């Protein structure tokens, strides 16, 4: 799997945030639609039903502030010995009939995203929901490249620009 912006991309699935394990909630994007697997959820919407996908409470900081936050967190863990899960954020999946909030864990190391990747990712989510972008493009990239791991920042941003049509 590889992280590109807010997306965790594998050979057969794309997740917003980290791939959920066990009973954790998450948001999975596939050719068929949007799924919210997890404890008590089991929700699914086809792409024709989805009118909006938005994120809330995502930690976004500049490169310098991101590194400072990660260094502070690492020092805190060393002193207290108390490691933590990555921070969570919310994904809202909206249809004409309902709006559902799903908690997901950040996939990026330290849980803090760079503004450029965040902005491109949210643009891509809007374009996926309105039909202006295809999840198949992300899945095709995942089949060919996800096993190689997360690409460099420049490559991630270039991919996001390509997928959004920017």
Q: Which of 145, 130, 136, 144 is nearest to 163 (CA)?
A: 136
Helix (H) or strand (E) holding 140: helix 135-145
Strand partners, 1: none
Long-range contacts at 151-155 (CB < 8 A, ≥ 24 apart):
151/2, 151/4, 153/114, 153/117
pLDDT in tens, 105-150: 998 877 889 999 999 999 999 999 999 999 999 999 999 999 999 9
Q: Which of 49, 25, 54 is nearest to 38 (CA)?
A: 25
pLDDT in tens, 49-66: 999 999 999 999 754 433
Which of the pair, 44 or 41, is modelled with greater confidence? Answer: 44
> Average pLDDT of the chain?
85
**Among 13-17, 22-26, 121-125, 160-164, where is mean pLDDT lowest?**
22-26
Give dist(CA 106, CA 126) in Å, integer: 19
């Amino acid at each position: 799997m590889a992280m590109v912006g807010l997306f965790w991309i594998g050979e057969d699935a794309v997740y917003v945030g980290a791939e959920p394990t066990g009973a954790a909630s998450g948001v999975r994007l596939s050719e068929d639609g949007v799924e919210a697997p997890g404890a008590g959820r089991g929700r699914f919407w086809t792409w024709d039903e989805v009118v909006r996908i938005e994120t809330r409470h995502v930690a976004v900081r500049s490169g310098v502030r991101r590194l400072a936050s990660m260094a502070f967190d690492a020092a805190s863990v060393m002193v207290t010995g108390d490691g933590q899960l990555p921070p969570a954020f919310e994904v809202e999946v909206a249809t004409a009939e309902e709006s559902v909030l799903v908690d997901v864990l950040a996939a990026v190391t330290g849980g803090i995203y760079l503004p450029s990747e965040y902005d491109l990712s949210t643009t891509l989510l809007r374009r996926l929901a309105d039909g202006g972008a295809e999840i198949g493009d992300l899945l095709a990239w995942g089949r060919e490249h996800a096993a190689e791991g997360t690409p460099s920042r420049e490559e991630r941003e270039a991919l996001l620009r390509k997928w959004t049509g920017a």
